[in-house]
Structure 1
């Protein structure tokens, strides 16, 4: 059986740049991008063309930031999609490679972040499970100092992005992937959780962290978009949303305190699944 031809639309590097600028992306700004390549349509050049289009829109003074999470650098007892047999856990803990920002691949964040991670001149933050990667003159200031016991809180790139007036670009991605909402979880009373991973110097380490969850982020995003200014449009076939990181965090602080008070059962260690959700 022959494969049917793509239905499009045809998206090129220039398409991405032109439509982002029309939406209001500004040269020299900082963008935190969550993306779905598939949502864009048929992209000539794939993820490389999209990154090029983003960088063209931002210009030489702009900085592109993406989540570069590696949730499988973690305790196998917490893995899902699929889990692994309990009798394997000890061997996995003993042999798992420690996080290396240069070579540890991303997981569950899509092909575009992995493309950014490996881009010439890209930098990556130091957290073993919830790192960010960035390209541009602001990359080092944003990524430096990502504390090993602060996945997405005050000592993470998210806090720097909020301080710097960066904006979030949801490029075919939904609010359930909006990492900025997690910073709000650090700014309201939240339960703690122990997170295990291989130590850089060998062996196994456990750190105490704020428990985070993206549960109900789709509802949070719906209300945020209803109540706050959010630029909406399209790039190719993808729905796009553009808004300040700081606005998203401030709104989420109030929303989570009201709608998820004491929801400790929702907040197991996030980003621990070894495989992407189906």
Structure 2
């Protein structure tokens, strides 16, 4: 039962990331003639191109019998609500509807939720390292054995997978911090919380938690491939988010994938098209 929940949950998360990344890439390419290239759209698409397949491969592997753990089960359940909320709001935007909600929650309740999530994340992290089969970095210095089934549980492959996942844990965690800070600023000016923004913040924090657990779990070569792609993608996306957060760049997609992005009624003078 636990394998089924983790497998299907990971597949749902992977499909959501892949779909959102594809939609973001389509909007960025389709609207660049009118609004210019969206750095955020490009960065999100690159991030989703690695993170989406990672979760798809992981979910399929779990359904095929790969190793699981209770921390992985808990992280999957925690990560699903934020992802589902953001995807549903994004579909609302595609259909031309509202695409966001303003939530009137007191700062004390939000702080309580943040502290609770932090404590849960800490417990899951400690629980992950306490697992009997947890993998640690640089194990290839102590052993040269490589599993015959092609997994990256031990040897150089396992250590590279650990480091790759831990790297995106840091970058995605930093992205979540920037998004959370933006939500706090928005509350101070408007008195409300953006549901889509809060959901996206939760997506990156929970995604970082999942990658932390995956770092200590034997994977396979295909997951390692997407993990390695995720390193430069996460670096670029973090740079873009930091630039947008500090208002160093003006991006028409500065509200991350929220709000209807449609072509203007008349083409721009430099588009080469006639009205």
Q: TM-score, normalised by structure 1?
A: 0.27
Name the one with the larger helix percent: 2
Q: TM-score, normalised by structure 2?
A: 0.28
| Greater C-alpha Rg | 2
Name the one with the larger strand percent: 1
